[in-house]
Structure 1
Amino acid sequence: MQQHMARHLQWRNATRFLKETSFMRHALASILLASASILASGAAQTAQAAQAAKWTDSIKLDAQLDGGFVINGNTPDNGVNFGQLFTDRSNQATLNQAALTLHRDIDSTSKGYDFGFNLQLIYGSDVRYLPFLGEFNKMTSDRYKLVPLQANVAVHTPWLFEGGIDWKIGQYISPVGFETIDPATTPFYTHSYTFNFAVPFQHTGFLSVSHVSPMVDVYFGVNTGNFTTFAGGDNNSRPSGVFGFQFNNLMNGKLSVLALTNIGPEGASLALGPDVANSSLRFFDDIVIGYKATEKTTLTLELNYMRDEVMNAESFSTVGYFSHVFNDHWTFNARAEVFRDMDNFFIAGFKEANGGWKSIKGLSTPLITAPGPGTYGDLTLGVTWKPSLPKPIAGLMLRPEVRYDRSLNGAGSFVYSDTNPVGHNGQFLFAADAILQF
C-alpha cells in the first residue's frame, strides 16, 4: 500500500524545519481568518484614494477551450502513452480543458493597497490529475471531470519592502516549475517528465511574494499540501509549504532565476498510518533559469531534484527549452530532457479515471509501471500558429509537435505490461492541440 500511495503525481517535497511544527496547521487556519481583517483595513485606504476607474471595471471573465490528440507509433494495446499524464491517451481525440475564469488582477507596482481575486472552474480530462480532495471527487467515474482549480483572494500591501508584498489566500496554483497547467502559457501540448511527475500542482493556504527590490523577489507560503484542502480534504495532519527567491533583470534584463523548494509530508494517513504519513517528508527543489538571447530568442534551463522519505526514493532531471518567435503568428519551440527515476518510484500511469484522487487519498488503484528503475530522455519539436480572428474570439493557438522518448538505460519501459513483459526502449508521439480563447 505504501509503494502504491506515493508513486505518482508528486505531493511534493519538503525541508526539515516543518517536521516538528504541528502547530502550524492551526496557524495556517488563523492566517486565513486574519486575511479578512487585512482586507477590511486596507479597503478603507483604497476607497479614499483617487482612481480613474472603478474597481469593478477591471473584473474580467475569460473562457478557454483546449483539445487535441496524440498518435503513438507503438500503438500500445492498453491505449496509454507511458510517461504522460495529461496526454496519456493514445490515438484518440481529447477535450483536455474547458476553463471559465472570473478574476481581477492586482497591480504589484502600486504604492498603496490593491485587491483582487481569482475564481476558476475547469472541466475536462486534465481534471483527473488536478483534484482537490473533498471537492467533486466522487461526482463521476468518467474520464471528464470538474474541479474548482482556483478560488483565492489576492492582495498587494505596501509593507516592509520597496515593492511591497503580494499575497494569495485560498486555493491557488503552485508557483514551482517552468511548465504550467494553463495550456496557453506552456510551449507544448505534451508535458515534460519533470512537470508530470516532479512538481506540485495546486495548494490550499497562502503564498506571499515580497518584492525586496526590482531585482529580488522572496517567496514564502504555508499550505495543506499538494491537491489537498482542510479536514476531510487533507490526507494527513501536517502542513506543507514553499519558499525561495527570484532574481529579475540580471544582465541588463536578459537573465532571470527562479529557485523554489516545496516543503512537507505528502503521504496519506489512510495508507501509511498517521505516524509515517506525518513524519515522512518529500523534498523537492526546482530551479528555472531563463535567458533572452535576442529580442526573439529565449533559452530556458530547468533543474529538478526530488526525494521521498517513505520509500527513500530519489529523482533528478534536467530540461532545456529553446523558443524563437518569427512574428506575431509563428513561434518555433524545442525541448530536450533527461529524467532519472532512480528507484522506479515516481513515473507511473493510472488504469482508471479516478486513480489520481484515490492515490492521494491513500486508496488502492491499479497502476501502469515500468519494469525497473529508468533514465528517460525526450526530445520535442513543435510550432505554434496564432492566426488573427475577429471578436468575440480573443485568440486561437494551433500547436503541432513531434516527440521522441527513449529509455536511456535500456529498461524497456514503453508498451511494457503484464501481457507484454518485453517493452520498447523508444516511443514516437505525433501530437497537436487547439486552444480557443474568448
Structure 2
Amino acid sequence: MSDKHVLAVFCLLVGTALPSFAYAQAAATSNTAITPDGTPNPNPPTMLPSTSHQADSADPDIPALKAGNLFSPKTGHSLSYWDGLVGHLTVEAGISGNPWTRSGRNFGQFYLDRANTVTLNQIMGSISHPITSIGGGYGIGFVAEVMYGSDARFDPTIGMGDGTLTGLYQWAPTQAHIDVHTPWIFRHGIDFQAGQMYALIGAEGTPALGRPFYSFNYASDYIVPFETVGIIATMHLSQHMDWILGIDAGNSTTFGQAGNNSRPKGYFGFAWNNLMGGKLNLHAIGHFGPQGNNGASRTSPAGWSSSGIGRAANSLMQYNASLLATYHVNKTLSLMAEALYLHDDASRDDAYGVTSYLSWDIHPSLTLNVRGEIFRDNTGGIINQYPGNMSYTNSLQNRPYFYYGAPPTTYGALTVGVAYRPPFVNRHLGTGTLTVRPEVRLDKSLNGTHPFNQAATVSGATVNNGTSNMLWFNLDAVLSF
C-alpha cells in the first residue's frame, strides 16, 4: 500500500475527539450560552449557565448568579449585576518549522503561513457578562472581545477598524454582542445573540485555546465563515434539541457600504445536546446566502485583480453546511468528527472534507491530541495563499490583491501533538495557566499534484512545481488568565 493510501485510510478511520482544552466555536450552535472568556461553549448545558443575580424559582433556565473574576463582592452582601463581570486575557506566540520550504510559506494555511519565523499570534482580551435574570423569565448578558497579533491579518470584519494597521501585526474586534434569554413559545424559551460573533460552524475556533493544535485544519481555515454580524436565535424545542435560525451580513463583513452585496445571509440548523447521559452532542447546520462582492472588478498597475463581480453577486448563492458529532467515551477520552461542504455559485467552486479528532487526557497536566483530515478542493479555487499582510483584507474590500493557488487537489493531513500545562510553572501563576503545544504534521496531495513548498510570482497563478507533501513541526505557548 502506498503512503498516500495509508494516510487516506488513517484520516477516515482515526477516532475523533472534542479536545479537553475546549472552546471550539462550532459547538456554539447548541446554545447561545458562552464560556467565561466570551467564546462559544463547546459542551453547553441544556439550561443556561449560572447567571441570575437572584434565583428565580419560576424559571429554572436562569440559575443564580456566580461572582465573576473582576470584582470581589463583600461577604454577606447581595450580588449586583456587575459583580458577575468576567475578564480574560490570552497571549499566544509560536514558531512553525518547515526545513524544506523554498518559498518561506506553509501552503494551505492562513494563520501559520510564515515558515521558520517566531510570531506573536495573538493577544486577546475580553470582558463579558453571562446572561443574568432581570425578572419574568428574561435575562441579559454581553461580550466584548478584541485581538492583536499576526492572526488578525486573517480575521478582519470589514467596516470595523479594518486597515488601521497594515503590517504583520494588526488588530481586529472579534466579538461584540448582546445575549438575551426569553421565556417565549417553548418550555425552555429562546436565546438571542445580536451583534458581531464567531461563526457557528467549523470545529476549530479563532482563540488560541479554541483548537487542539497550533495549526488549523483546511476546513476551518478555508470554507467556514470566521465572523458574522447579525442576529441568531436558538429555540429550545426540548431539553435535548435546539433549532437555530439567524440572519447576518455575511463572512467578515457588516452592512451598508461595508457589505459585500445587498442580500442577507443566514443560518438554519438543529442541535442535539447531552444525549446518551451527556456523552453525545450532535449538530447539523448550514449557512446560506450570496457571498460574492457586487462591486466592479478593479485591476492594479501590477496586474492584480479585485474580487468584485458586479450586480450578479446579489443573486449568486453560497451554501455552507456542517455535520458535527462529539462523543465523550469517559472523563479522559473524547472523540469528534465533522463533515463540511461548500458550494459557491459565483466562483463555481466546490469543496468538502472530513476531519476527525482524538483527545486523551493522559495526566491532569498532559493531553494527547490526534487529528486526521481529508479535504477536496474540487476546482483549485478554494485553497489559496495570501502572501501580503493585507492580501486577505483587500480581497474582502474589493481591492486588488496578490494570491496564488493550486490545481484541483485532494489534501490529506495528519497531526499529532500534546498540550502540556507544566505544574512547576502554573503553580506560581495564580489564576493564570501556561500551555505549551508541540506538534508534528504531515500534509500530502493524494491525487499527484505538487502545491507545497513553492510560491508564485504572478497573482492568481497555479503552483504545481513544488512538492507533493509538506512535513512540518510546530510549537506554540499560550498564557491565559
Residue aligned with 1:232, SS: helix
Q: 1:213 to 1:111 in 2, by over 3 A?
A: farther
Alignment-derived partner of residue 436 in structure 2: 398
Distance 1:162 1:394 in 2: 39
Alignment-derived partner of residue 358 in structure 2: 322
Higher helix fraction (1 or 2): 1
1:382 maps to which of 406, 417, 429: 417
Distance 2:412 2:464 in 1: 21
Distance 1:196 1:435 in 2: 20
Distance 1:402 1:253 in 2: 32
1:309 maps to which of 345, 349, 360: 345
Structure 1 residue 112: deviation in Å? 1.9
Alignment-derived partner of residue 7 in structure 1: none
Distance 1:214 1:325 in 2: 29
**Conserved 8 A contact 2:232-2:246:** yes
Q: Which amino acid aligns with 1:399?
A: R
1:436 aligns with 2:479: yes
Question: CA RMSD of the aligned region, Å?
Answer: 2.3
Residue aligned with 2:418, SS: strand
Residue aligned with 1:268, SS: coil
Distance 2:166 2:368 in 1: 38
Residue aligned with 2:237, SS: strand
1:300 maps to which of 336, 345, 348: 336
2:470 maps to which of 424, 427, 431: 427
Q: 1:296 to 1:80 in 2, by over 3 A?
A: same
Q: Which amino acid aligns with 1:185?
A: G
**Conserved 8 A contact 2:97-2:473:** yes
Structure 1 residue 85: deviation in Å? 0.5
Render the CA deviation track for 1:346-392: whole Å, top value 9, x for unaligned: 0011121111111112222111211x110000000000012333344
Structure 1 residue 274: deviation in Å? 4.0
**Conserved 8 A contact 2:292-2:309:** no
**Conserved 8 A contact 2:404-2:456:** no
Alignment-derived partner of residue 98 in structure 2: 72
Structure 1 runs not aligned, ≥5 long? 1-41
Alignment-derived partner of residue 107 in structure 2: 82
1:261 aligns with 2:286: yes
Residue aligned with 2:191, SS: strand
Q: Which moved more, 1:59-68 or 1:336-345?
A: 59-68
Residue aligned with 2:137, SS: coil
Q: Which amino acid aligns with 1:409?
A: N
Residue aligned with 1:350, SS: coil
**Conserved 8 A contact 2:196-2:229:** yes
**Conserved 8 A contact 2:317-2:344:** yes
**Conserved 8 A contact 1:71-1:430:** yes
Q: Which amino acid aligns with 2:83?
A: D
- How does 1:124-163 map onto structure 2 within 5 Å? 124-163=149-188
Distance 1:158 1:339 in 2: 42
Structure 1 residue 121: deviation in Å? 1.1
Alignment-derived partner of residue 348 in structure 1: 384
Q: Which amino acid aligns with 1:173?
A: Y
1:413 aligns with 2:451: yes
- TM-score normalised by structure 1 residue count: 0.85
Structure 1 residue 421: deviation in Å? 5.4
1:279 aligns with 2:305: no
Q: Which moved more, 1:315-324 or 1:386-395?
A: 386-395
Structure 1 residue 327: deviation in Å? 2.5
**Conserved 8 A contact 2:101-2:454:** no
Count of aligned pairs between the two proteins: 392
Q: 1:146 to 1:417 in 2, by over 3 A?
A: closer
Distance 1:115 1:177 in 2: 27
Structure 2 runs not aligned, ≥5 long? 1-51, 66-77, 298-307, 458-462
**Conserved 8 A contact 1:65-1:436:** yes
Residue aligned with 1:400, SS: strand
**Conserved 8 A contact 2:266-2:288:** yes
**Conserved 8 A contact 1:267-1:360:** no
Q: Which amino acid aligns with 2:421?
A: K
Residue aligned with 1:352, SS: coil
Alignment-derived partner of residue 225 in structure 1: 250
Alignment-derived partner of residue 13 in structure 1: none
Residue aligned with 2:163, SS: coil
Distance 2:309 2:104 in 1: 35
1:205 aligns with 2:243: no
Q: 1:393 to 1:359 in 2, by over 3 A?
A: same
**Conserved 8 A contact 1:73-1:427:** no
Q: Which amino acid aligns with 1:297?
A: L
Render the CA deviation track for 1:157-209: whole Å, top value 9, x for unaligned: 12211221111111111111211111112111100000110111111111111
**Conserved 8 A contact 2:81-2:132:** no
Render the CA deviation track for 1:122-155: whole Å, top value 9, x for unaligned: 1011111111112222212201111111111111
Q: 1:193 to 1:107 in 2, by over 3 A?
A: farther
